[in-house]
Amino acid sequence: MIGDFCSINGKLVPSADAKVHIDNLEYAYGFGVYESLKVRDRLLYFPEMHLERLLASAQIIGLDHHLDIEKIKDSLDELVKSVPQPSFNVKMMLVGREQEGDLYIFASMPHFVQRKAYRDGVKVITLDGERQFHHAKTLNMLMSYLAYRTARKKDAHDALLIDREGFIREGTRTNIFYTDGKTIFTPPTTQVLDGVTRRTVIESLEKSGIPVAERMLKADEVKTYHGFFLTSTSVNVLPISQIDDQVFAVPELVKTAIKIYSQYLSQYKKLRVK
């Protein structure tokens, strides 16, 4: 955590005073939802989309609260203004309680990927695993945590999760895209967490005239495709150079996707900064 303050239920309090009661079973059992946002050069990216998904996630798991987007946005803006650093990440957690949920907002240092990774790509591994609520970003992260820990032990950036039918749906904290050299594919929205970066990457590619289609990816079909990349709030568009023992070059279409999304973010910044 960075900064001297965090936000609890709409009130800015010193970070040292932020506490969770030991008898909060909902927190202990992961009955909650969260969002991770990024601030770069004092600009908060896509807050409305993140807030809409936070509340949608709460609805999916039946988490009661009395919040609305405007209330959360005010708390979010107040927290962002309290942080002196120009670039950081923000985490929002809505945790269930007997009566209504508690909303925590705090800042953290971003994990920046080395610049050469965008040129050369990163290694990922595959593991069996499937999130219970595909469309909700919940605090029940044990499976994802263990898979990510295994990936890091193997010097991999992330682990791609294979469901019981043999399909690769997503990473532990990323969405996946892949290409045959002409079209860029991604697993269907109905089968994965619809990441904000995933959504905006698709929008940027389609606006640039690059064909994008939703298609399930069989784990045993990986070698038939030309290239792959990951998306997330922290990494934007990150090419993959290796999946398990299979090595891939970073194709031109993936390099183009990286450039297009970078331009998309630059345009977003121009429209937001006045």
Residue 95 reports pLDDT greater than 70: yes
Please tell me the predicted confidence (pLDDT) of residue 126: 98
Rounded Cα–Cα distance for residues 140 and 34 (Å):
10
Q: Which amino acid is at 159?
A: A
- Percentage of the chain surpassing pLDDT 70? 99
Q: How far is CA 55 from CA 99, 138, 173, 237, in A?
A: 17, 11, 19, 26
Phi then psi for residue 27, to 5 deg, are: -65, -45
Rounded to an integer, what is the distance from CA 273 to the centroid of its chain? 24
Calculate mean pLDDT across residues 50-64: 95
Check if the beta carbon of residue 94 is closer than 8 Å to that of residue 34: yes
Name, in order, each residue with C-beta under 8 angstroms of 266's C-beta and a sequence gap of 6 or more.
none
Calculate mean pLDDT across residues 28-37: 93
Q: 196-207 and 47-61 are packed helices; what angle lies between their axes, rounded to 10 degrees?
A: 130
Ranges assigned E (strand) in 109-223: 122-128, 158-162, 167-171, 175-179, 184-186, 212-214, 217-218
Look at the pTM and tell me if it is higher than 0.85.
yes
Ranges assigned E (strand) in the chain: 2-8, 11-14, 32-40, 43-44, 88-95, 102-108, 122-128, 158-162, 167-171, 175-179, 184-186, 212-214, 217-218, 227-232, 236-243, 246-247
Check if the beta carbon of residue 46 is closer than 8 Å to that of residue 261: no
Please tell me the predicted confidence (pLDDT) of residue 201: 99
Please count the helices (runs of H) and the strands (runs of E) in the chain: 7, 16
Rounded Cα–Cα distance for residues 270 and 274 (Å):
8
Q: Which amino acid is at 22?
A: I
- Which tens digits make up the pLDDT trace of 154-168? 999 999 999 999 999
Report which DSSP code applies to 173: S
Please tell me the predicted confidence (pLDDT) of residue 274: 67
Domains and CATH numbers, the chain: 2-108 (3.30.470.10), 115-270 (3.20.10.10)
pLDDT top residue among 93 and 98: 93
The tokens for 219 are 């784990």
Check if the beta carbon of residue 186 is closer than 8 Å to that of residue 166: no
Calculate mean pLDDT across residues 111-118: 94
Report which DSSP code applies to 157: S
Please tell me the predicted confidence (pLDDT) of residue 41: 96
Rounded Cα–Cα distance for residues 12 and 5 (Å):
6
Residue 46 reports pLDDT greater than 90: yes
CA quadruple 43, 233, 50, 193: dihedral, nearest 10: 170
Please tell me the predicted confidence (pLDDT) of residue 141: 92
Phi then psi for residue 64, to 5 deg, are: -80, 145
Please tell me the predicted confidence (pLDDT) of residue 111: 86
Rounded Cα–Cα distance for residues 250 and 232 (Å):
18
- Which tens digits make up the pLDDT trace of 169-222? 999 999 999 999 999 999 999 999 999 999 999 999 999 999 999 999 999 999
In what helix (H) or strand (E) does residue 71 lie, and over which residues does it extend? helix 69-82
- Which tens digits make up the pLDDT trace of 12-28? 999 988 888 778 788 88
